[in-house]
Amino acid sequence: MTPAEAFALAEKHIEAGMVADADTLRETGFGFYFHVTSEEYLRTGDMMDMPVGSCGVLVERDTGEVHDLGSAFDLEYWLEAYDRGLHLPMDVIVLSIGDRQRAASALGRLQMSYVIPEVAHGETWTIPKHYNQKDFIRAFDSLPARFEAQRLIFRMHEIDAIAKNPDLTISLEVQKDG
């Protein structure tokens, strides 16, 4: 995919009244980034006309899928997280532990969850439940321990902290069904 093709996909994706800026192109291993702002802001220059909650869009090089980047993190965070594949469901595999409590606390910061489908009134409900300290400590009895299909896009800093933690060694694998 060329930058021009990516820009066309970005423009097609954004809402009416918004514009992508071709001059802000940043190419990464994942794809192509473009800043997005409102037509009104470009016309007036008034900060009150700036869009809130957007850090632009990222066009995936391989698929052409357009990802909206929120304002929870800065642009560098988003670009690295997508380059690392953290937007995809990941299996977190615990390979080794040192201190069980510290390892469980570190995993807790990933805010991982699981779903147990429940049927009620003819409907299947899938309400996520968060793993807790006891769940992690129990899982440590049988390593490697796998926590499937985790959403980690907002947890890059915690993953980096775990990589430096002598009490916990993990690996991340893209979910096979994700």
Q: How far is CA 34 from CA 14, 58, 75, in A?
A: 11, 7, 10
> Among 78, 85, 80, which Cα is nearest to 62's?
85
**pLDDT on residue 52:** 85
**pLDDT on residue 51:** 86
**pLDDT on residue 50:** 87
Please give the Cα distance from 25 to 32 (Å, whole number).
7
**pLDDT on residue 122:** 92
Question: Does the model's pTM come out above 0.75?
Answer: yes
**pLDDT on residue 177:** 65
Please, which residues have CB within 8 angstroms of residue 45's CB and are 6 or more apart in sequence?
Answer: none
**pLDDT on residue 176:** 77
Residue 107: its H or E element? helix 100-108
pLDDT in tens, the chain (178 residues): 999 999 999 999 999 999 999 999 999 999 999 999 999 998 998 999 988 888 899 999 999 999 999 999 999 999 999 999 999 999 999 999 999 999 999 999 999 999 988 898 999 998 899 999 999 999 999 999 999 999 999 999 999 999 999 999 999 999 876 5
Phi, psi of 163 (to 5 degrees): -60, -25
